Structure 1
Amino acid sequence: MTAPNTAGLLDELDRLRRRTRIARRGHWLPLTAIGLLTLGAIPFYRPFDDSCTPDASGCALPDRGTSFTVPGLGRVDPLGVFNAGNIFPLANPLALGVYWVLALLAGLVLTVWWYRRRAVSAGLETSTGAYVKVTVGGLAVVLGIALAGGLLPDLRGFRVTDSGTEESVLKAALFLAVPVTLAILSERDLARTRGFRAVVVVGFLVTSVLGATVVNKTGGLMLFAAGLLVLAWLERSRWCALVALGYTGFTLLANASTMGTLFYALAWRPDGRLDVLFSAKDVLLPGCVALVGGLVALALSRLRR
């Protein structure tokens, strides 16, 4: 075969590979779903109205939070990574914590179902193994953060809110990078070795301990961000990667408790102490980024047909 013919064949193979990769992409639905699920948390950020009295009509006693006592550990709060640290006390932190757990599981089930459905209809399958691992493993980590904090109470003195913004963002980024990297590597042949399994166990422990000092109220956003980063790698999509990075960036800012400063800089002031939207400010920008990103991805997929 002559050199020109070989070059032409290679070019055709490259074009076929690109068309196949584009045809199997279906990230518009996971992006849209994650955006909607993120914004769906807004009503649960309703602040507690401490101006009313318990005997007033329609007024409830303040919620005591979601912590409970574990013998030998003291008070632990597994749902605190979803509901603690907000500027205003929440009317029902338990509802918010439960919502995030259910939202993460709903996003996981929908994503897996969607890609399996596409595999049947299009004949092209995108593996969701890494996405499942980072979501399930990450959920175990963030729920285990409370236990890590109970076993190592000195960690409470190194909370992310005690650090500067840049340091807080870097610590939270490291917390995200470990599970995302392990999930991606799990799709390689390396995952079959004993050494990698030991690394996974160590990584689980490290991220749990690191999370006890880093994650501040944004456990749900963190796990969605990790899932989006893994999804961008699975899809090899620049647009999905851009959306994932945008979602992650706003999540890191929210975790560092700087979202309020950002909105104040944009001249948005809360409409009274009970402004639900301002109370839910941490989820607004990440949710909008994912939702808009999903709709744009849907439009692009239609145009390519």
Structure 2
Amino acid sequence: MTDGPVPSPGTPHELLDSVHRLTRQVREAQRGAWFPLGLLGLLTLGAIPADRYGHYTATCQSFRRGDVGGQVCTISDTWSFIYWTTALVLAYAVIAYFSVRRSRARGVGTAVRPYIAAGIGIAAALTAAAIWAVHHPPGLSHEIWGLRLDPQSSVTAFLYRLAAPAGAIGLALLVLSWVERNLALAAFTLLYLAIVLVPVTFGWTIARPSPWFFLPHLTIAAALLLLGSVGFALAQSVRRPAGDG
């Protein structure tokens, strides 16, 4: 048995700096936001044929306000409903599989479970909200959990958009940014939500009764997600050589 030099642990301050540096490296190694962004962007593009060639049904409710009465109808797309419910759950399963394989390959643990649970939970809430909206047309006043939904209110319109698939995707991405401690992803997600919830159309609109009236909304949302995916993938590829050195 021979004696050899043992590296000095250094001062407590140096040790703390080393722990912080290692924590940052682990977090960067865990990050893979480009994959869920890209996958969800492709799913958003995949919703275009479902919306265009879906099976539309009308649900009508009668109302009376004083001497005025009539009917308010909600048109729902069965194919789009089935598509988003199935696609989001499958997407989060694929993201979970990707994250586990990636973490095993790199030898770094991943905390993707909260994101997957939040994504599936939000998808389930989206399904419940869609079913509720079919039987409660937005043209009438409704009350839910003490909150009165006035059809003329901008808050009501915002809540209906938030319950749409684009809003559900954004909320789940906020959870992912929290899990990964990724400020860049949080900033991107807030920008994405601002554009899809306002909504911002960049001057591109298609009015009803055109069967393509939904196209600007889906295309813009998909483009944002895909561009974000490319941006995060490029940023990660640039950082990797510095981290490996």
Q: TM-score under structure 2 normalisation? A: 0.72
Letter paired with 2:32: G
8 Å Cα contact 1:161/1:168 also seen in 2: yes
Task: Using the TM superposition, give the Cα deviation of residue 35 of structure 1 relative to its aligned residue in structure 2, in angstroms.
Answer: 1.3
Assess, with a 3 A threshold, how the Cα gap between structure 1 residues 99 and 8 changes in structure 2: closer, same or farther.
same
- After superposition, residues 113-132 of structure 1 pair within 5 angstroms as 113-132=97-116
1:215 to 132, 139, 160: 160
Q: What TM-score do you get using the length of structure 1 for normalisation?
A: 0.59
- 1:118-141 CA-to-partner distances (Å, cap 9, x unmatched) read 121111122222223222222332
Select which of 169, 180, 203 maps to 1:235: 180
Match of 1:274 in 2: 210
- CA deviation vs aligned residue, 1:230-249 (integer Å, no higher than 9, x gap): 11111111221122212222
Whether the 8 Å CA contact 1:108–1:135 is kept in 2: the answer is yes
Q: Distance in 2 between matches of 1:273 and 1:221?
A: 22
Quick one: distance in 1 between partners of 2:140 and 2:15?
61
The one-character-per-residue Cα deviations of 1:104-126 (angstroms, maximum 9, x if unpaired) are 12221111111111121111122
What SS does the corresponding residue of 1:144 show, helix, strand or coil?
helix
Q: CA deviation at 1:291?
A: 0.9
What CA distance in whole angstroms lies between the structure 1 residues aligned with 2:209 and 2:53? 8
Contact 1:66 1:94 in 2 (8 A): no
Matching of residue 36 in structure 1 with residue 42 in structure 2: yes
Amino acid at match of 2:228: G
Matched residues in 1 for 2:96 and 2:88: separation? 12
Percent of residue pairs bearing the same amino acid type: 26
| Residue identity in the other structure for 1:65 | T
Q: Which residue of structure 2 lines up, in the alignment, with residue 15 of structure 1?
A: 21
Residue 127 of structure 2 aligns to which amino acid in structure 1? L
CA contact (8 A) 2:205 2:216 kept: no
Displacement, 1:154?
11
**Is the 8 Å Cα contact of residues 48 and 215 (structure 2) preserved in structure 1?**
yes
Q: How does 1:256-267 map to 2 (within 5 A)?
A: 259=200, 262-263=201-202, 266=203
Partner of 2:102, secondary structure, is helix
Higher-Rg structure is 2
CA 1:218/1:250 → structure 2, altered by over 3 Å: closer, same or farther? Answer: farther
Q: Secondary structure at the match of 2:210?
A: coil
Task: Give the corresponding residue for 1:45.
Answer: 51
- Deviating beyond 6 angstroms after TM superposition, the runs of 4 or more aligned structure 1 residues are 149-155
CA deviation vs aligned residue, 1:76-110 (integer Å, no higher than 9, x gap): xxxxxxxx97xxx78xx222222211221222111
Matched-pair contact (CA < 8 Å) for 1:218–1:251:
no
Give the secondary-structure state (helix, strand or coil) at the position aligned to 2:57: coil
Which structure has more relative contact order (CA 8 Å, sep 6+)? It is: 1
Partners in 1 of 2:12 and 2:78 — Cα distance?
Answer: 64
**Residues 27, 66 of structure 1: alpha-carbon distance in 2 compared, 3 angstrom cutoff:** farther
Q: Which amino acid aligns with 2:187?
A: L
Q: Which of the numbers 51, 57, 64 marks the counterpart of 1:65?
A: 57
Name the structure 2 match of 1:163. 153
Higher strand proportion (structure 1 or 2): 2
Change (3 A) 1:124 1:149: same
Q: Which runs of 5+ in 1 are unaligned?
A: 49-62, 69-83, 173-213
> Structure 2: how far apart are the matches of 1:67 and 1:126?
45
Aligned length: 213
Distance 2:134 2:215 in 1: 28
C-alpha distance in structure 1 between counterparts of 2:170 and 2:13, whole Å? 41
For structure 2, the residue ranges without an aligned partner over 5 or more in a row are: 1-9, 61-72, 143-148, 241-245
Report what 2:227 is aligned to: 292
1:156/1:44 Cα in 2 relative to 1: closer, same or farther (>3 Å)? same
Say whether the 8 Å CA contact 1:115–1:126 is kept in structure 2: yes
